[in-house]
Structure 1
Amino acid sequence: MKKIHILLILITLSLSLIGCTDKPGKGSSGNTAEAVDITDEALLDSVQRRTFNYFWDGAEPVSGMARERYHVDGEYPENDKNVVTSGGSGFGIMAIVAGIDRGYITREQGVERFTKIINFLEKADSYHGVFPHWWYGETGKVKGFSGKDNGGDLVETSFLMQGLLALHQYYINGSDAEKALAARVDKLWKNVDWNWHRNGQNVLYWHWSPEHSWEMNFPIRGYNECLITYILAACSPTHDAPSEVYHEGWAENNKIVAPHQLEGYNLNLRYQSNSGAGPLFWAHYSFLGLNPNGLKDRYTNYFEEMKNYTLINRAYCIRNPKEFKGYGEDLWGLTASYSVKGYSAHEPSEDGDLGVIAPTAALSSIVYTPEESMKVMRKLYSMKDKVWGEYGFYDAFSETGEWYPKRYLAIDQGTTAVMIENYRSQLLWKLFMSHPDVQRGLKKLGFESPSLN
C-alpha cells in the first residue's frame, strides 16, 4: 500500500509539473498538459486538417466554392448563408490541393470537387473575365459587396487566380481528367482582361460595375495586400499590362520607397495606413503562392520586409499600450477579422487596436516567424474549449471583452491552411512559382528570386 501511495504522489507531482510548464492565462481552458504533450508536427497537422475542412466539408454544396462565412450559431446577415467568395475560394483551392497531397482526401475526390468549382466559374457572372467579390452559390449571380461594388473585383480575382494557377501546375502532368481540368483553368486565366481595369491609365483600378462603371474610383497603390494583382497583370499571356503599370501605378514612380522604423524594426516601403504599418494580412494574401524567400525587386527584399512587418505587429502586442487582457509573447496578431465592433482591419496602433486577437494573424505568419508563431499556436490550443471548433480556430476573440464568437471567415481560414503547408513543404509556393507565365511576368517586372529559372 505504501508503494502505491508513493507512486500516486509521484504521478500527481509529474502532472503538476507538466501543468506548470505553460500555465494557461486568464480566460484559458486549462488544457495545457495536452498542448505541451503534442508534438509540433502533430499540432500543425491537426490545425491544418481542421482548417482544410472549412473548404471541404463546409463548402457551399451547389458550387463547391468557399462560403464567405460560417456561423456555428446559425445567425447570418440576410440572405448571406450561401454567399460564396472569389478570393476566399482561391485560398480554399490551394488548401484543398495541399489536402490532396497530405492524403486528407483522394485525388479522385479532388477532381470531383474541382470539376464542380470550374463548372461554376465558367457560368457565373463575370465582367471582362474579372469575377465579382461575391456570388450567390446556388445561382452564380453576383451579390454586391456594397452599393456600387456589384461588378468586377480585380483584387479578389487575383486571389482566385493565384489559387487556380497553383492548381493548374498540380494537374498539368496528372491523369487525363486532371489535365482536362488544367486546360479549363488555363482558359479562365487567359480570359481575365487586366488592361480593362487600367481605364486607359498606367494604374490598375480595383472595381468596375456594369451599372456604375468606374464610379468607385479606387486606383490600387502600394503597399497593401495587392502586390499579387499587379504581378498577375504583368504575367497574363493574353492581356498583360506593361511594366510601366507596376512601376508608375503600384510603386508611384518610387514613392513606395519610404524607409522608417517601428517598434525597433526597419521597413523600407510606404504602407497605405496612417500608422506606418497595417494589418497582418498584408503579409499573407500575396504570398500564398508568390514565394517571398529571396524575392527582391528595385523596391525591397520581400522576405525581410514581411518578417519585420510581422515582428512589428508582435512587438506592439507585447508592449500592449492599451493594456488589453491576454496580449503577450504567446498571444499576438492583429489583422482583418470579426471584432467586438463589427468587421475591422485591426493593426498595430492605438487607433487600430480593439483588443481583438485573430488566430490567423500569427499562424499565417509562421513562414516568417516560425518559433514565435508556434508559441501562439500552442497557447491557442491550450484555450481550445473557447477558440477551437470543427474547422479549426475560430476567426477572432477578445479576452478583454470576454468575447468568443464561434464564427469563421473564408479569407482567414484560407491563409492559415495554406501558410502552414508552405511552412511544412513549400508546396503551394513551388506550384505557383513554376507556372511559365509567372516566371515570365516576374522577370518582366525585374524581380529576382531563387525560384526563377
Structure 2
Amino acid sequence: MRQRPCSVRFYKFAVSGLIVIFLVNLVGLVAPGYCKSAAVSEKVPLADDAFLDEVQRQTFQYFVECSNPANGLVMDKALNLPTGSEAIDFSYSAATIAGVGFALSVYPVGVERGWMKREKALDLTRTTLRFFAEKMEHKHGFFYHFVDMNTGARAMNCEISSIDTALFLAGALFAAQYYKDSEIQERAQFLYERVDWVWMCNGGRFPSMGWTPENGFIKATWDHYSEGLLLYILALGAPKHPLPADAWDFRRLWGRYKEYVYLINQPLFTHQFPQVWLDLRGKRDAYANYFTSSVQATLANRQFCLDLRQSYQTFSENCWGLTACIGPDNYHAYGAPPNPAVVDGTVAPAGAACSIVFAPQLAIAALREYYDSRTLPESIKKRLHGRFGLSDSFNLDRDFVASEAFAINQGPMLLMIENYRSGMVWKHFMQLPPVLQAMQKAGFKPDTTDANTTDETTIYETAAYMPHLRPVYATPFLPHDYSLASASFADPVWDTAAKMVIDRNLIQTIIKPPTSLDYQLHWQMLHNSESIFVRFDLHDSELHAENADERMYHDDCIEVYLNSRDEKFSWNGEHDYQIILSPDASGKNLRVREFVKGASLTSQLRWKFQRLPDGYRAIIAIPKKAFGLADASSFAASIAAHDINASGTIDMKYSWFFTQPEITLAEIKLLQDD
C-alpha cells in the first residue's frame, strides 16, 4: 500500500471534530495579569527588549558552536571561555539528547531573530532528524540519555531515558510545525510514531524513568507531578502506542511556603521545562492550573532564598533561583521546600531567567544583576560571563563560578525569554494536533479564575532548615549512679530534660502522605560521665517492618545522626555515627544498629524497650568513649523518623534538623554537674 503524503500524515489528527472544537475553545485564552503571546511592543519595554535580545543572542552561540554539523548532536556542557577563544572540542563532553531537543527549538528562534539563516537551520534540522531516524541506537523508540558526540553510541553507561526522549521529541515536533518542511515533518512523525509509551510502563500504570541493558527498567516512575508533565502530553496524544487517559492521574501534592501555595517539586526546572513548549496560561484540568502553580513556586523559591540571606551571602533581592546545576562540590538538583530543600548558596542564572514567563520583572531584574551588577564581586562577575553568555552557576560563599555552560540550562533560558518576548514557541507547539488531542484527553478547559485550592484541599508544609537558625538542645547531667539496668520510664529524672516533639511541623520528606498527619515522636536526652541516654516515646498506630536488619532504614524506624567533633555529617567521616532503631516484624522486640562504623559499635549499645498499644517507648544508652564523646562539652546531632505502613500508602520522613546537600546537624550542649 502506498504511504500517504507526509503532510497528510502529520496533520491526520486535525480532522477530528472534537479537536477542532477544542482548538476554538483554547484560542486567545490568557491568564489575567501574566505575560501574553502578543507583539513585543505591547508587553516588553524597549529597554528590556534590547537587553533580552542580547542575552538570547549570546546564549544562542552555545548551540551554534556546540552542535555537531555532521549529525546534529549537542554537547551536554562546554567551557564558557571568553569570546574569540579556540574552537570547541567535541571530545570534551558527551552529547545530551535533551539538549538536542532544545537545540531544534532554538534554531527557529535564531532564524526569526536574524542570527541564523533559514537554509542553514533547515539543513541542520534535517541532518539531526535523519541521524536520529537512521543511525541512533534506540529501544522501542527511546534514546540513551548521553551519547558520543560523533558516533551517537551510548556514553557513560547511561540509561535509555524516557524524559530526555520526550524533550527531544518536543523539539522535533516544534521544528516540524515551524518549518512546514516535508522531510522534517516526515522524520519527526516517524520518530514520534516509533516510541512505544506503553512498553516504557513495564506493565504498570506510569512510565518508568528509564531502562538499561544491564538491569532492565528503572524502578522509579513518573507517578508524581514533575517535568514529566510534557512526557504525558506527548504520550497521551501519540499516534501509536499512546497511554490511556487514566495515566494522567499521577500524584499531585499541594505544598505551602510562607503565603505561596503550589504543586510540590523543589527545583525550578521541574515547573519550567514542560512550559517551554506547553502554553498553559488560562487553562486547567481537574487538578490544577499549572501556570498559576508555577508562578507561586517561582515566588516561593525566591522568598526562600531571601530568607536564607543570613546563611548564604550569594542570595539577595536580585540574586536567587534554586534549580539543578553544577555546584562547588558536584551537580545537585537545588530546590526550595516543601520537601527537602537542597541549598548551599549556589545560584543558577537559568533559575531566575527561565522564570521570566512566571515573574517577568523579577526575572529581568535578576538577569540585569548577573550582567550589570555593581554588587557582585568583580572576581565573580568576570568569571560568570563568557562566549555563551552566563556560566551555569556561582556561589559567593565558596568563591565558586562554574567554568562551563550546560545545554539543558542554556536552551530553556533562551526559549523562555522568547516566549516572554513573542510567544513564538508556545504559538507553534500548541497548534500541533497531537498536543491538542492530548490536552483534551487530559481534561484541560479554559480557566479565568487562577484559583488552585479550596478549603477542602490538603496543603502540606515541610520544615525549612536554615543554618543560621541551627537549634540547640541543653542536656542535663544525671547522678553518677544512674544506669540503664535500673532505669524506669516513670523515673522523675526525665522531668529535668526538655521534651522535644517531632510531628507534622518537622516533616522532611513527603513521599506518600497519610490521610491524617497524627504521627508524633517525643524525644529527650540526658547524660552522665559514661553515657548519653536518649529516650523516645513514639505514637504510631501501625508499626511495620519487613526488611532485614541491614536495611531496616526502609521500615518504621527512628534515626540518630551524630558527629562528635563538628556540625557536619557525611556518613563516612571519622566522627560520623548513625544509630537506627526499629521494632522487628513481630513488633515485640527492638532492633538497634550503628550503620557507619558497624558491628563493633552496635555491640556496645544498650537499650530498654516497652511496646504500647499505639507505639512504643525506648531508652538507648550511647557509650561516650566509644562514640568519641568522652571529653565533649557539646556535639552535633539530629533525630529523624521514618513512617510507613504495610499497604504502601504511607511513606513519610520527619527530621529535627537536617540541611542538604551539605548536611548540618543541630547542636547538643552537655550541661555539667554543679
- TM-score grouping bracket, smaller chain normalisation: 0.7 to 0.9
Aligned residue for 1:266? 261
Q: Counterparts of 1:82 and 1:340 in 2: how far apart (Å)?
A: 19
* CA RMSD between the two structures: 2.1
Aligned residue for 1:14? none
**Is the 1:293–1:449 contact (alpha carbons within 8 Å) kept by the matching residues of 2?**
no
Higher Cα radius of gyration: 2
Q: Counterparts of 1:295 and 1:322 in 2: how far apart (Å)?
A: 39
Q: What's the CA shift for 1:212? A: 2.4
Q: Counterparts of 1:116 and 1:342 in 2: how far apart (Å)?
A: 34
- Find the residue that maps to 1:143 and give its secondary structure: coil
TM-score (norm 2): 0.55
Q: Counterparts of 2:115 and 2:277 in 1: how far apart (Å)?
A: 21
Which of 232, 239, 253 is residue 230 of structure 1 equivalent to? 232
Greater share of helix: 1
Which of 194, 197, 212 is residue 209 of structure 1 equivalent to? 212
**Is the 2:200–2:210 contact (alpha carbons within 8 Å) kept by the matching residues of 1?**
yes
Aligned residue for 2:66? 58
The runs of at least 4 aligned residues of structure 1 exceeding 4 Å deviation read none
Q: Counterparts of 1:145 and 1:428 in 2: how far apart (Å)?
A: 33
Aligned residue for 1:138? 150
Aligned residue for 1:9? none
**Is the 1:265–1:311 contact (alpha carbons within 8 Å) kept by the matching residues of 2?**
yes
CA 1:90–1:145: 2 relative to 1, 3 Å = farther
Q: Counterparts of 1:449 and 1:207 in 2: how far apart (Å)?
A: 34
Which of 241, 244, 254 is residue 242 of structure 1 equivalent to? 244
Letter in 1 for 2:274: S
Q: Counterparts of 2:62 and 2:79 in 1: how far apart (Å)?
A: 11
Q: What's the CA shift for 1:80? A: 5.9
Alignment of 1:357-368 (within 5 A): 357-368=347-358
Alignment of 1:46-85 (within 5 A): 46-72=54-80, 81-85=92-96
Which structure 2 segments of 5+ residues have no match?
A: 1-45, 374-380, 448-674
**Is the 2:80–2:385 contact (alpha carbons within 8 Å) kept by the matching residues of 1?**
no
Q: What's the CA shift for 1:321? A: 5.3
Aligned residue for 1:221? 223
Aligned residue for 2:287? 299
**Is the 1:60–1:82 contact (alpha carbons within 8 Å) kept by the matching residues of 2?**
no
Letter in 2 for 1:328: S
Which of 376, 382, 390 is residue 385 of structure 1 equivalent to? 382
Greater share of strand: 2
- 1:216-241 per-residue CA deviation (whole Å, 9 max, x = no partner) reads 21211222211111111101011111
Q: Counterparts of 2:430 and 2:100 in 1: how far apart (Å)?
A: 19
User: Is residue 339 from structure 1 mapped to residue 327 from structure 2 by the alignment?
Assistant: yes
Q: Counterparts of 1:221 and 1:212 in 2: how far apart (Å)?
A: 20
Letter in 2 for 1:310: T
Identity of aligned residues (%): 30
CA 1:145–1:334: 2 relative to 1, 3 Å = farther
Letter in 2 for 1:243: A
Q: Counterparts of 2:117 and 2:302 in 1: how far apart (Å)?
A: 38
Q: Counterparts of 1:284 and 1:91 in 2: how far apart (Å)?
A: 13
Count the aligned residue pairs. Answer: 387
Letter in 2 for 1:244: D
Which of 438, 444, 449 is residue 447 of structure 1 equivalent to? 444
- Find the residue that maps to 1:142 and give its secondary structure: coil
Q: Counterparts of 1:124 and 1:160 in 2: how far apart (Å)?
A: 13
Q: Counterparts of 1:441 and 1:109 in 2: how far apart (Å)?
A: 32
User: Is residue 191 from structure 1 mapped to residue 194 from structure 2 by the alignment?
Assistant: yes
Which of 288, 311, 326 is residue 314 of structure 2 equivalent to? 326
Which structure 1 segments of 5+ residues have no match?
A: 1-37, 173-177, 272-276
CA 1:88–1:322: 2 relative to 1, 3 Å = farther
- Find the residue that maps to 1:288 and give its secondary structure: helix
Which of 257, 268, 271 is residue 280 of structure 1 equivalent to? 268
CA 1:322–1:347: 2 relative to 1, 3 Å = farther
Letter in 1 for 2:142: V
**Is the 1:60–1:84 contact (alpha carbons within 8 Å) kept by the matching residues of 2?**
no
Structure of higher RCO (CA pairs closer than 8 Å, 6+ residues apart): 1
TM-score (norm 1): 0.81
Q: Counterparts of 1:88 and 1:328 in 2: how far apart (Å)?
A: 30
- Find the residue that maps to 2:304 and give its secondary structure: helix
Aligned residue for 1:22? none
Q: Counterparts of 2:330 and 2:149 in 1: how far apart (Å)?
A: 24
Letter in 2 for 1:129: G
- Find the residue that maps to 1:43 and give its secondary structure: helix
Aligned residue for 1:308? 296
Q: Counterparts of 1:261 and 1:80 in 2: how far apart (Å)?
A: 44
User: Is residue 431 from structure 1 mapped to residue 428 from structure 2 by the alignment?
Assistant: yes
**Is the 2:327–2:402 contact (alpha carbons within 8 Å) kept by the matching residues of 1?**
no
Letter in 2 for 1:357: V
- 1:193-221 per-residue CA deviation (whole Å, 9 max, x = no partner) reads 1111111121111112234222x212112
